[in-house]
Amino acid sequence: GREPDYQGGFALKVLHAYVDQLNFAGMVFDDAIRFYLSGFRLPGEAQKIDRIMEKFAERYSLQNPTVFVNADVAFILAFSIIMLNTDLHNPSIKEERRMTKEGFIRNNRGISDGGDLPEEFLTAIFDRIRENAISLKEDDEARERTGEGKEEGASTLSPSVLNPSAFFSNHYVEMDRTRETNF
């Protein structure tokens, strides 16, 4: 890009160095996305998200070579999951306009080199994203400190779900520590 942040490719070098330190081997795909995005907040610009998720897809596919036929499939699905999260958890989207499981499966038809990913694979991802919004740990903690969402019927969704941002909980930090210990 032409932004000062990208002069000399510094930001991309940092991204590549960050991704190259992560171990996604054996992780469920959407858990790997949560883990990946736990270290930073996604920007709001689609072009930047594209670069960030492309690097994730390359690394995930390298470490899990039997999950997808190539990294492009992982990239398309990762971007689709971010959009699904936003769609399902954005409070400004009316319930009747939200993505359905069938719609998510339909949107991801043919992404595997012209073939479809297994329906049960996509269904499981949809269910996990619906049940557990990808949100920023720091936003969750701030909500707890201010008491937001405590009253009956109040939304506990983070403002970050309005933007396809990023995420997280201590569960993934513990997973990483366990991997390091077992290594």
Q: Which of the residues are catalytic?
A: 45
In this structure, are residues 30 and 64 in contact, taking their beta carbons and an 8 Å threshold?
A: no
CB atoms within 10 A of CB 144: 12
SS3 content of the chain, % helix, strand, coil (to 5): 60, 0, 35
In this structure, are residues 119 and 101 in contact, taking their beta carbons and an 8 Å threshold?
A: no
Q: 44 φ, ψ to 5°? A: -85, -10
In this structure, are residues 112 and 92 in contact, taking their beta carbons and an 8 Å threshold?
A: no
What is the spatial distance between Cα 143 and Cα 148, in angstroms, rounded to a whole number? 5
Helix (H, G, I), strand (E, B) or coil at 40: coil
